[in-house]
């Protein structure tokens, strides 16, 4: 029987043969070395102890994460003085936002109805 070094464990794929890797995670993963000297791959509440020489490039072996797709529709609208503003409609709640100064100040503007007529 070979004892594993608690500070530098084997690859998680070997250490946890009953777990299917890579694990699908919802947050962008990181590699972090703790004050105890142990190194972890962390994503949200998923923590996997990894070898001390593990780097960010190794993460896809253990964790599967993809950038979430935007949940909004975006339209470019020309302003009255030649500026171009971005109007976005949230697909979840239909909330509209605009990048113009008027919207930032008042919370409404004419570009909203130009981009998404009712």
Give the phi and the psi of residue 116 in degrees, each rounded to 5: -130, 80
Give the phi and the psi of residue 56 in degrees, each rounded to 5: -60, -35
116 token code pair: 């998404």
Percent of the chain with pLDDT over 90: 78
pTM for this prediction: 0.59
Q: Read off the pLDDT of residues 44-80 as tens digits, 9 standing for 90 and up.
A: 999 999 999 999 999 999 999 988 888 999 999 999 9
Give the end-to-end CA distance of the chain in Å, rounded to a whole number: 72
């Amino acid at each position: 029987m070979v004892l594993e070094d608690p500070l530098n464990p084997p690859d998680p794929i070997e250490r946890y043969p009953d777990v299917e890797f890579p694990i699908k995670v919802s947050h962008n993963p990181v590699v972090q070395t703790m004050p105890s000297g142990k190194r972890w791959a962390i994503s949200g509440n998923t923590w996997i102890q990894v070898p001390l020489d593990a780097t960010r490039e190794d993460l896809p072996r253990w964790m599967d994460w993809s950038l979430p797709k935007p949940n909004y529709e975006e339209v470019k609208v020309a302003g009255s003085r030649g500026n171009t503003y971005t109007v976005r409609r949230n697909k979840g709640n239909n909330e509209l936002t605009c990048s113009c100064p008027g919207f930032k100040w008042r919370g409404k503007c004419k570009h909203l109805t130009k981009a998404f007529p009712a």
